Chains A and B, each alone.
Chain A
């Protein structure tokens, strides 16, 4: 990192304020769409932190994957389940919120004291920073982390197939109405249209 110390501290402060404000907005705002857009702000400022920490490749991957894929996925999910429902009030809910806030503050105090008390064995001499992080990460991927790398690809494939199976909605009905299908010699051997269309069934049927 060849930025000056003051520039680093100032950019750290700006990014920290941005990130904490956006994260509090994600948690506390009542409109879920605003929360989703603020989540993109959190991801972008974390990418800025990665650049401050000399990790350019992971910063780019963070923007591409989180802002480009995960956040868009979350927005799609919000639009698909957007019913504007008013949650019914539950008595005594503020006690739960208060207790949760107290627990989180206590956890933060615990973590903070642990961080500040622990003597981290930082090297006093600043060693040579890795010049090309892509090459270094690639060497790690294909030498000593080859098995987790391959397992990650298998995991992504499994997650994708599982998500498609969970999210698609065409169910094969019990009674298959095959009578009206006139099969001639030119009929292609495919599933009839009625099966696919009958997936849009009334909601309370399948419980």
Chain B
């Protein structure tokens, strides 16, 4: 197995996440795309940890930290989506102009 395969796969996943982040209109789907991007980063970290640093596995430690931050981000992001939905009665990203100007 080569490291480039894993890195290419992580790059593809990251680009899919960026596409979903920009082009989707459902706010929950935007959060799901962010999770995809974080997982791509985790896959990169894990590939580097296995192939470049197999004795002291520091990439796995950083992956655990990224998973922690991703869990916290998901909780706060979904709470924000719920709060906006309660005030605006919509989850369309095109309708959210609260921070405009």
Contacts and interface: CB of A to CB of B under 8 A. Distances in A.
A14 interface: no
A55 B49 contact: yes
B97 interface: no
Contacts of B55: 127-128, 130
A32 B28 contact: yes
B27 to A, nearest CB: 8
Interface of B: 1, 3-9, 11-20, 22-26, 28-29, 31-33, 35-36, 39, 42-43, 46-47, 49-52, 54-58, 60-61, 63-65, 67-76, 78-83, 85-87, 89-92, 94
Contact of B71 (A9, A23, A69, A127): A69
Contacts of B19: 27, 100-101, 104
10 contacts: A32-B29, A46-B39, A49-B9, A73-B74, A80-B85, A83-B89, A100-B18, A100-B19, A140-B56, A159-B76
Interface of A: 5, 8-9, 12, 16, 19-20, 23-24, 26-27, 32, 35-36, 39, 42-43, 46, 49-50, 52-55, 57-58, 61-62, 65-66, 69-70, 73-74, 76-78, 80-81, 83, 85, 87-88, 90, 96-97, 100-101, 103-105, 107-108, 111-112, 115-116, 120-123, 127-130, 133, 136-137, 140-141, 145, 148, 152, 155-156, 158-160, 162-164, 166-167, 169, 203, 206-207
